[in-house]
Amino acid sequence: GRYIQLLKRFSVAAAVVSAIVYVSVRSVEFVNRVEKPLIVRTDIGERVRIELPDGSHVWLNACSEIAYGPRLFSSERGFAIKGEAYFEVQKMEGVPFVVHCEQMDIRVLGTKFNVQANSDDECITTTLLEGAVQVTSPMIKNKVIMRPDQQLVFNRKTGTAQLTMTDQARASRLWTDGRIHFYKATFAEIAKSLERNYNITISFKDDRIRQKQFICDFDSSDNIHRILSILQLTGKFEYRIQGRQVEIRSL
């Protein structure tokens, strides 16, 4: 039902976007494997929903990766991720679900949470919607127990973690419904997301516009011209597009 509607939505979106935009979604069903680990990767503008044998579901955002070893149901359900993923985990008594990111692990029994762990981002951001998760890292002195509507931002460079309440927990998973949502994000942060979703390269001619913050929400069917035009309404800048190169400068 819901996912079929999602598939239809992405199909329609893919048909109407301009040539500079590539959006697709596919579904992957995990199977128990005894030899090789399974790796699922997404390309630019691609989103994937993965159905696991235990009934859990994982959504991968663009330019992301998830991998699991041949012993999926030994003492834990262990996954390694790169990029951004949203998880809806089925509880299995005695078999914890563990997500391994660079420099940190997230351990759950049954919950819904989003993880941003893009390699080009300074921080790993975990946002909890339901349930509870335990976050550990060799760089964090004490383990962190997260509750719903909390967000943990772990800085890879400094090894520090900040846990805060957020009213944006539900919004953290909007990308699984074909939305591109930003809340008080800098233009530089927005640019990274747009590059992953629209197969473009964005360069800034001055630092002032890079650091400007925006609150905005777009549909994945919006082309890059429309997105930049809307951002112009609240940000004083001009842009130039040549092929897949986008140049932005302050006015």
Q: Is 3 helix (H, G, I), strand (E, B) or coil?
A: helix
Output the pTM of the full model. Answer: 0.80
pLDDT at site 27: 56
Q: Is 10 helix (H, G, I), strand (E, B) or coil?
A: helix
Token duo for residue 136:
């550990």
Which of the four pLDDT bands, split at 50, 70 and 90, describes residue 31? low
Distance CA 65, CA 116 (A): 12
pLDDT at site 38: 83
Lowest-pLDDT choice from 9-18, 58-67, 79-88, 119-128: 9-18
Residues 131-143 have a mean pLDDT of 90
For the beta carbon of residue 3, count every other beta carbon within 10 angstroms: 14
Residues 124-144 have a mean pLDDT of 92
Give the pLDDT confidence of 150-200 residue by residue, as tens digits. 999 999 888 889 999 999 999 999 999 999 999 999 999 999 999 999 999
What are residue 38's phi and psi, to 5 degrees? -105, 135
Which of the four pLDDT bands, split at 50, 70 and 90, describes residue 52? confident
Distance CA 43, CA 127 (A): 23
Looking at every residue in the chain, the average pLDDT score rounds to: 84
